[in-house]
Amino acid sequence: MEFDLDSFSARDWESPTDADPIRFAMVGLGWWTREQAIPAVENADYCTTTVLVSSDTEKADEVAADLEGIEETLTYEAYADGAATDAYDAVYVCTPNGLHRDHVEAAATHDKAVLCEKPLEATVEDARASVDTCQEADVPLMVAYRLQTEPAVRRARELIRDGAIGDVVSILGHMSDTILDAVDETSWRFDPDLAGGTTLNDIGIYPLNTIRFVLEEDPQAVYARTESEQPAYEGTDEHAAFQLEFPDGKLASCTVTHSATVTSSLRFVGTEGELSIEGLFFPNTQKVLRVSGPDIEGEYRPEPVDQMREEFDYFANRLQRGLDIEPDGEHGMVDMRAIRALYDSAEQGRRVELDL
């Protein structure tokens, strides 16, 4: 088989429609929603923001003052009680992890589709309850894994699926940032009850989920080590290294840390070649995919995309067309159980098998 790096359509999921835009209620107005999600939707093709939900309407009103098309600003309590449900079709939940369940269940109660930030919740039990509620209410639930609509990742999956590097044998992943440059130790991210963990479940989920997506397989066992040095990380994890065991002997080795230079990469080594992507896990950065194999040798630099815009447009386009949405809640539950197993492994110092 001959492989062509340039033959890929970045939006291979897209089918334009004449349907009205999907109207979003933004639930949680932290910096990620204000600086990433709202601008992404402003530039999106298939959705718009009409409702803002925050702990108090004063904050929501301040954000709304700089936006067009906002019809309502609500407190969390008013949102949960069903205020202004005629003003939105779907919700984007971006609050501390441990608060996701309440907001997801409120949306399901009001028959609204849900796009929930990852991880689904702070605990497996609350994540399971969120997924069950949406399934019982028959409302779509998508977990916000923006890498799954990133063109470089979708191209990598296509190449590996078609055998461009033979059978994958090993995978190497890394992600690091300097979170204390953006927040201080009072942030909810250092509160186990609200976050569920600090590093493994915050940025470790990027290589974990992206590897699952590209391989189209789930890990069978894990092993992890965590370390903490700075006072802010007392009782939680600052650095982590972990292994994922996949079917047919494939092994993934990953490192993540909140205390190193901002960088990320993912590398797949196969029986006949290798494929790597640099700059992968951060939004709005140039991605570089390199691949070498018996029938392909080259470098792919797709035009940088707004990963959040791609994610929102995918979700909205699927809703408009009445199609199933991936990654759904069950997909997110695999990560929740894997992350819990990784923390158990780090605490117990042993390999942990997964019951998925």
Architecture of domain 151-304+327-353: 2-Layer Sandwich (3.30)
Mean per-residue pLDDT over the chain, rounded: 95
What pLDDT score was predicted for residue 309? Answer: 97
pLDDT in tens, 91-113: 999 999 999 999 999 999 999 99
Sort strands 141-143 and 113-116 into parallel, antiparallel or unpaired. parallel
E-state strands within 55-147: 72-75, 90-93, 113-116, 141-143
pLDDT in tens, 305-325: 999 999 999 999 999 999 999
- Residue from 70, 28, 75, 72 nearest 56 by CA: 75
Residue whose structure tokens are 């004063």: 58
Please state, in angstroms and rounded to a whole number, the distance separating the CA atoms of residues 235 and 238: 10
pLDDT at 4 over 90: no
What pLDDT score was predicted for residue 284? Answer: 77
Sort strands 288-293 and 296-300 into parallel, antiparallel or unpaired. antiparallel
pLDDT at 159 over 90: yes
Full strand arrangement of the beta sheet holding 113-116: 72-75, 47-54, 22-27, 90-93, 113-116, 141-143
Architecture of domain 5-146: 3-Layer(aba) Sandwich (3.40)
- Average of per-residue pLDDT across 138-157: 96
What stretch(es) of the chain map to CATH 3.30.360.10? 151-304+327-353
Amino acid identity at 281: F
Which residues have CB under 8 Å from 141's CB, separation 6+?
Answer: 104, 108, 113, 114, 116, 130, 131, 134, 135, 325, 328, 329
What stretch(es) of the chain map to CATH 3.40.50.720? 5-146
Contact 201, 195 (CB under 8 A): yes
pLDDT in tens, 51-95: 999 998 899 999 999 999 999 999 999 999 999 999 999 999 999
Give CA angle at 269 (143, 259), nearest 5°. 55
DSSP labels, 70-86: --EEEEHHHHHHTTTGG
pLDDT at 246 over 90: yes
Give the number of other Cβ atoms within 10 Å of residue 183's Cβ: 13
